[in-house]
Amino acid sequence: MTAGTIMPYDEALERFEPVLGLETHVELGTRSKMFCGCKTTFGAPPNTQVCPTCLAFPGALPVANAQAIESTIRIGLALNCSIAEWCRFARKNYFYPDMPKNYQISQYDEPLCFDGYVDVEVDGKTVRIEIERVHLEEDTGKSTHVGGATGRIHGADYSIVDYNRAGIPLVEIVTKPIPGADRLAPEVARAYVTELREIMRSLGVSDVRMEEGSLRCDVNVSLMPRGSSEWGTRTETKNVNSLRSVERAVRSEIERQAAVLAGGGTITQETRHFHEDTGTTTSGRSKEEAQDYRYFPEPDLVPIAPDPAWVAELKAALPELPSVKRKRLQAEWGLSDLDMQAMHNADAIDLVEATVAAGAPAADARKWWMGELARKSNESGTPLADLPITPEQIARVTELVASGALNDKLAREVLEGVLAGEGTPDEVVERRGLKIVNDEGELSAIIDQVLADNADAAEKVRSGKIAAAGALVGGVMRASKGKADAARARQLILEKLGVSE
Partner 1 sequence: MSAITRDEVAHLARLSRLALTDDELDHYATQLDAIIESVAKVAEVAAEDVPPSSHALPLTNVFRADEVRQSLTPDQALGGAPAVEDDRFRVPRILGEEA
Partner 2 sequence: MSLIRKTAAELGSMIAAGEVSAVEVAEAHLDRMAEVEPKVQAFLHVDREVTLEQARAVDARLRAGEKLGPLAGVPIAHKDIFTTRDMPTTAASKILEGWRPPYDATVTARLREAGLVILGKTNLDEFAMGSSTENSAYHPTHNPWDLTKVPGGSSGGSSAAVAAYEAPLSTGTDTGGSIRQPAAVTGIVGMKPTYGGSSRYGLIAFASSLDTPGPFARNVLDAALLHEAFSGYDPMDSTSIDAPVPSVVEAAKNPDVAGMRIGVVKEFAGEGYQAGVLARYHEAVQLLESLGAKVVEVSCPSFTTALPAYYLIAPSECSSNLARFDAMRYGLRVGDDGTRSAEEVMALTRAAGFGPEVKRRIMLGTYALSSGYYDAYYGQAQKVRTVIAREFEAAYQQVDVLVSPTTPTTAFPIGERADDPMAMYLADLCTIPSNLAGNAAMSVPCGLADEDGLPVGLQIMAPVLADDRCYRVGAAVEQALESRWGGSLLSKAPQL
Q: Which residues form the interface with partner 2 (CB under 8 A)?
A: 52, 55-64, 91, 93, 95, 97, 100-103, 157-159, 161, 292, 294-296, 299-302
Out of 177, 204, 263, 303, the residue judged to bind partner 1 by CB under 8 A: 303
Distance CA 216, CA 22 (A): 10
83 binds partner 1 (CB under 8 A): no
Q: Is residue 272 within 8 Å of 284, Cβ to Cβ?
A: yes
Give the number of C-alpha atoms closer than 13 A to the C-alpha of residue 40, restricted to the C-beta side.
25
Distance CA 322, CA 340 (A): 13
Minimum gap (Å) between residue 163 Cβ and partner 2: 8
Give the number of C-alpha atoms closer than 13 A to the C-alpha of residue 125, restricted to the C-beta side.
8
282 binds partner 1 (CB under 8 A): yes
Minimum gap (Å) between residue 270 Cβ and partner 2: 19
Q: Considering only 160-168, 171-179, 440-448, 453-461, which stretch makes contact with partner 1 by CB under 8 A? A: 160-168
Distance CA 238, CA 246 (A): 10
Q: What is the DSSP string of 218-248?
A: EEEEEEEETT--S----EEEEEE-SHHHHHH
Minimum gap (Å) between residue 57 Cβ and partner 2: 7
Out of 15, 201, 273, 432, the residue judged to bind partner 1 by CB under 8 A: 273
55 binds partner 1 (CB under 8 A): yes
Q: Considering only 58-66, 132-140, 341-349, 447-455, which stretch makes contact with partner 1 by CB under 8 A? A: 58-66
What residues from 222 to 251 belong to the interface with partner 1 (CB under 8 A)? 238-239
Out of 5, 143, 242, 390, the residue judged to bind partner 1 by CB under 8 A: 143
Pick 102 or 144: Cβ nearer partner 2: 102
Taking CB within 5 to 8 Å according to partner kind, which of partner 1, partner 2, none is near residue 326?
A: none
Minimum gap (Å) between residue 164 Cβ and partner 2: 14
203 binds partner 1 (CB under 8 A): no
Pick 101 or 216: Cβ nearer partner 2: 101
Q: Fill in the DSSP letter of residue 214.
A: S
What residues from 92 to 131 belong to the interface with partner 1 (CB under 8 A)? 95-97
Pick 93 or 341: Cβ nearer partner 1: 93
Pick 55 or 262: Cβ nearer partner 1: 55
Distance CA 458, CA 418 (A): 39
Minimum gap (Å) between residue 297 Cβ and partner 1: 4
Taking CB within 5 to 8 Å according to partner kind, which of partner 2, partner 1, none is near residue 103?
A: partner 2
Beta-ladder partners of 120:
127
Q: Is residue 134 within 8 Å of 25, Cβ to Cβ?
A: no
Neighbours of 231 (CB within 10 A): 13
Neighbours of 378 (CB within 10 A): 11
Taking CB within 5 to 8 Å according to partner kind, which of partner 2, partner 1, none is near residue 318?
A: none
Neighbours of 441 (CB within 10 A): 7
Distance CA 173, CA 154 (A): 30
**Widest Cα–Cα separation across the chain:** 98
Of the candidates 149, 44, 95, 496, the one whose C-alpha atom is nearest the C-alpha of residue 293 is: 95
Of the candidates 163, 145, 162, the one whose C-alpha atom is nearest the C-alpha of residue 154 is: 145
Taking CB within 5 to 8 Å according to partner kind, which of partner 2, partner 1, none is near residue 91?
A: partner 2
Out of 184, 301, 342, 466, the residue judged to bind partner 1 by CB under 8 A: 301
**Under 8 Å CB-to-CB from 401, ≥6 apart: which residues?**
364, 407, 408, 411
Q: What is the end-to-end Cα distance of the chain in Å, rounded?
A: 77
Minimum gap (Å) between residue 57 Cβ and partner 1: 8
Pick 158 or 231: Cβ nearer partner 1: 158
68 binds partner 1 (CB under 8 A): yes
Pick 48 or 380: Cβ nearer partner 1: 48
Where on the phi/psi map is residue 233: left (φ > 0), alpha (ψ -120 to 50), or beta? Answer: beta
Minimum gap (Å) between residue 320 Cβ and partner 1: 25
Distance CA 315, CA 73 (A): 9
Neighbours of 345 (CB within 10 A): 13
Minimum gap (Å) between residue 268 Cβ and partner 2: 20
Out of 24, 49, 214, 393, the residue judged to bind partner 1 by CB under 8 A: 49
Q: Is residue 311 within 8 Å of 73, Cβ to Cβ?
A: yes
What residues from 411 to 470 belong to the interface with partner 1 (CB under 8 A)? none
Minimum gap (Å) between residue 236 Cβ and partner 2: 19
Taking CB within 5 to 8 Å according to partner kind, which of partner 1, partner 2, none is near residue 282?
A: partner 1
Report helix, strand or coil for 175: strand
Helix (H) or strand (E) holding 458: helix 455-462
Interface positions with partner 1 (CB under 8 A): 30-32, 36-39, 45-52, 55, 63-69, 86, 88, 95-97, 143-146, 152-154, 156-163, 238-239, 271, 273, 282-285, 289, 292, 294, 296-297, 299, 301-306
